A and B are shown apart, each in its own frame.
Chain A
Amino acid sequence: MGKKLLIQDDKVPGIHTLEVYRQRGGYASVEKAVKTMTPEAIVEEVKKSGLRGRGGAGFPTGMKWSFLAKPEGVARYLVCNADESEPGTFKDRYLMEKIPHLLIEGMITSSFALGAKTSYIYIRGEYFYVARILEAAIDEAYAAGYLGKNILGTDYSLDLYVQVGAGAYICGEETALLESLEGKRGNPRIKPPFPAIAGLYGCPTVVNNVETIAAVVPIINMGGDEYAKIGVGKSTGTKLISASGHINNPGVYEIELGLPVEEFIYSNEYCGGIWKNKKMKAVVAGGSSVPILPTDLILKTAKGEPRLMSYESLSDGGFVSGSMLGSGGFIVYDEDTSIPMNLYTFNRFYHHESCGQCSPCREGTGWMEKIAHRIVEGHGKPTDVDLLWDIQKRIEGNTICPLGDAAAWPVASAIRHFRHEFEALIPKTAVAH
């Protein structure tokens, strides 16, 4: 049994209400923070905790917070990224739906640390009902004095709002999110300037994932040093994993970082093994954007060490034999899965979601979808697999935002590890040209 710090109470009846949440110790971090700590001290605890962003990139949260510019007389903002649209990822929805006050508590404590007086939770439009749950919880928090003017009788005041998007994966990219929150198309901005200098309305802004902000609560309650003892190496703390695909028990699991991948997949406490007594073929470990790995490489690194659920272990071997922890969207595929067909669903996704600003991404994702489609339909040409490889290489690193890379990596890894499956679909009679 690993430690749980976030969703241990998810099955407690009424945990979505302030009353029950408080009975389980809720809002202690707000009491502690606004009454007994300085904003700097909170940032220090988060730094000590080693917490890394849970939205996908894994950037150290305390460091990100310390980059926030603090010009005199200019508003600062904390914006929570609840856009959650990376295929395979549904943990933020679970957390917000089951324990909405945990996110709100984290938002208050974090906003205090950053000196934000207004904060927003930007949630994907499809989660409208979750926004309703959050809004009901926010109303309760206002009524109890955790939000609004003079929180718990201190000088600190904060307003918190939920903003609903309208269906666009790209709005999860932090600068696209800010554009969308300003009422515009979700076109990512060219960086620099980074949001820490010029973000929402041109003001210094921190954008953090739902789970990152929720993790601030146990960090402030237990102290950064204690938090850092949980997990393995530089992968401190716990992580929510969204498990889906061909497993017996799909769902959201909180794991202590460092859990062996094999245990996660086969233990009944977690995924419970592969469905229908089949064998596993491959895993996408961190959401659709990260490289897919075949069974041997997801269970063990190329050096033969057991692969662990941690930032370092999952990326061991680079993109040649490794992958990434990403958003924790863990998709498992059984032995009968067509990897080319699965790739085609990703190609279609990225083409649909490209905002169209950069030609390598806009055109490249379209071409990849088209070529993958003709391969799976049995009309592929002998040169198509090389062509796919070539296109993904030309996208990677040549775009304004990382969506281009995210579209390229699944293609590269599927070809790298499963080339034979693509070639097997190309008709023998096809002529090259």
Chain B
Amino acid sequence: MSKPITIKFSDASLAEIHKIMSRYPEGKHKSALLPVLHIAQAEFDGWLSAETMDLVASVLKIQSIEVYEVASFYSMFHLAPVGNCVFDVCRTSSCWARGADDIIKHIGKRLNIKPGETTEDGMFTLKAVECLGSCGTAPMLQCGASFHENLTPEKVDALIESYKAEGKRKSYTDRDYKNTL
């Protein structure tokens, strides 16, 4: 049995969730699961705890296990805490060919972490990921909704500084994305 749920969605999120649920035919509201998990992840500290997933299950009126099995399948859902800014750095062929490994190393040195790790202050998580559809502007990284492309070590340094100065959690669902070419 799952524990009682002590968290709840904001009114704005609930309104959005209900709007999303109306997009599918009668009885097919489970289709809302991925979009709702994105909203939940953004609202509850950037990751999906068991309690957050239970909340999603109760809102969608499905079993918790149906939520766990989906959340664990998709790489954008974090099942453990992450930093405010998750740097998803692509390392597949086109990015690799134009220096992605050096970019990953550079970020790692700057932040003093390895791929998969989070800085002590909880500000940054570094991830090495696969192709993000920016192969023509390689190397690149994604942070929240923003794409940062044609990266150089200097650009990376500037990015880290600006994210630090902003000091905010970044989510894939952010509306104020700031792509940089």
**A residues whose Cβ falls under 8 Å from a Cβ of B:** 75, 84-90, 92-93, 118, 120, 124-129, 132, 159, 161, 163-169, 180-186, 201, 242-246, 250-252, 284, 288, 329, 331, 333, 337, 341-342, 345-346, 348-349, 352-353, 355
Contact = CB atoms under 8 A, between A and B. Distances in A.
Contacts of A120: 23
B94 A185 contact: no
B172 A251 contact: no
A126 B135 contact: no
Given A182-B30, A246-B97, A125 B131 contact: no
A87 B37 CA distance: 26
B70 to A, nearest CB: 6
Interface string B62-105: 00001001100111110000000000100111101110000000
A89 B30 contact: no
Given A87-B93, A93-B133, 7 more contacts: A88-B93, A168-B73, A181-B31, A182-B30, A183-B66, A250-B136, A329-B135
A355 B69 CA distance: 13
Given A164-B34, A166-B38, A352-B130, A87 B94 contact: yes
A70 to B, nearest CB: 18
Given A166-B37, A246-B97, A75 B25 contact: yes
A196 B178 CA distance: 40
A244 B94 contact: yes
A171 B147 CA distance: 21
B133 A342 contact: no
B179 interface: yes
**Max count, chain A CB within 10 A of own CB: residue among B37, B69, B130:** B130
Given A129-B179, A166-B38, A331-B94, A183 B33 contact: yes
**Max count, chain B CB within 10 A of own CB: residue among A120, A181, A345, A352:** A345
Contacts of A201: 25, 28
Nearest to B73: A185
Contacts of B174: 128
Interface residues of B, number: 46
Contact of B32 (A180, A183, A243): A183
Contacts of B93: 87-88, 245, 284, 288, 331, 342, 345-346, 349
A121 to B, nearest CB: 11
Contact of A349 (B66, B130, B138): B130
B111 interface: no
Leading 7 A-B pairs by shortest Cβ distance = A166-B74, A183-B33, A167-B76, A167-B75, A183-B30, A250-B136, A244-B135
Contacts of A128: 38, 145, 172-174, 177
Interface in B14-57: 23, 25, 28, 30-35, 37-38
A345 B146 contact: no
Given A167-B74, A168-B75, A87 B135 contact: yes
B136 A342 contact: no
A136 to B, nearest CB: 10
A125 B74 CA distance: 10
B137 interface: yes
Contact of A165 (B34, B138, B179): B34
Contacts of B38: 125, 128, 164, 166
22 contacts: A84-B133, A88-B135, A90-B136, A126-B88, A126-B142, A128-B38, A129-B145, A163-B23, A163-B34, A165-B74, A166-B75, A167-B76, A182-B28, A183-B31, A245-B93, A245-B135, A337-B97, A345-B91, A345-B92, A346-B92, A349-B130, A349-B131
Given A125-B76, A128-B145, A331-B94, A183 B131 contact: no
A425 to B, nearest CB: 17
Contacts of B73: 168, 185-186, 355
A186 B33 CA distance: 13
B59 interface: no
A333 B138 CA distance: 14
B145 A185 contact: no
B138 A244 contact: yes
Contacts of B34: 125, 163-166, 180, 183
Contacts of A250: 135-138
B175 interface: yes
B160 interface: no
B160 to A, nearest CB: 21
Contacts of B123: none
Contacts of B138: 244, 250
A87 B70 CA distance: 24
B32 A87 contact: no
B172 A125 contact: yes
A252 B134 CA distance: 11
Given A125-B74, A183-B33, A245 B97 contact: yes
Contacts of B28: 182, 201
Interface in B127-167: 130-138, 142, 145-147
A127 B98 CA distance: 22
Nearest to B88: A126
